[in-house]
Structure 1
């Protein structure tokens, strides 16, 4: 087993033991029933008392064999409205960038960081123009669009 897969196996065990409320993180199940440890399907709940509350946002995490030396790629669905999410869905978050990445960062920390970023974007490092302009110049309209987006991603039943 590669170092990346060993680490991801440990991450999976750790996440199961100490899972934050409302979060989901599971490796992909292939059609043949095997587990793909290099591709994870996750759900990040919106924080209470924010415009994001009530949504359960699908995050895909792609790991490479270089993990944990190299950060994984984390993404939301294409077209996701957020200043730090590129139009194709890639998330721009300092702890996930090569310059800010540390091999000690855990899956739980990544997901909590994404949850924090939802309501506290870094508009100085915008990845999409529409969300940047709304957040910067019309927060009321931005929050309304976020609420509409939250309705498209209801929590699992």
Structure 2
């Protein structure tokens, strides 16, 4: 079986598993190509903020790009460019060990585990792995200013009532 077929097979399986069992409030689906077919390599997803955190009552959009080398290599996962968080690069790329092939990525990690890991990272930034200096510095030195910025950003992604 070719690498490409393995990748496509795994993504199909992830899609099937996700549709059967995904956490409440989350969504993840392949995007539609220009011809109306599904592009299984590119997904849009939403991660709800956890209750009782600065992120609650909002759903944060991400894009997931699977390369031909998936699951040997992790997918690329991004928030919109400019997303404010100590562990998110200005480009939107998320700095999380399970998404790094040189750290904790394992081919057995599921889409569900990735999205839950990102949800956890939102409210519990890793100060040892800064990706964005201004957010990291404020998170370290001025918790009130950090809180204010997160509340501001969360309003942008607030769930409609």
Same fold (TM over 0.5): yes
Q: What's the offset of the Cα at 1:155?
A: 2.8
Q: Give the paired residue count.
A: 157
Matched, 1:20 2:2: no
User: For 1:118 and 1:127, how far apart are their aligned partners in 2?
Assistant: 13
SS at match of 1:66: coil
Q: What's the offset of the Cα at 1:32?
A: 1.4
- 1:36 maps to 39
- 1:60 maps to 63
Q: What's the offset of the Cα at 1:109?
A: 0.2
Query: Any unmatched runs of 5+ in structure 1?
Result: none
Q: 1:92 to 1:129 in 2, by over 3 A?
A: same
User: For 1:81 and 1:108, how far apart are their aligned partners in 2?
Assistant: 23
- 1:105 maps to 109
User: For 2:127 and 2:79, how far apart are their aligned partners in 1?
Assistant: 18
- 2:12 maps to 9
1:152 to 143, 151, 156: 156
TM-score (norm 2): 0.94
State the superposition RMSD in angstroms.
1.2
- 2:142 maps to 138
- 1:119 maps to 123
TM-score (norm 1): 0.96
Q: What's the offset of the Cα at 1:31?
A: 2.2
Q: What's the offset of the Cα at 1:4?
A: 0.7
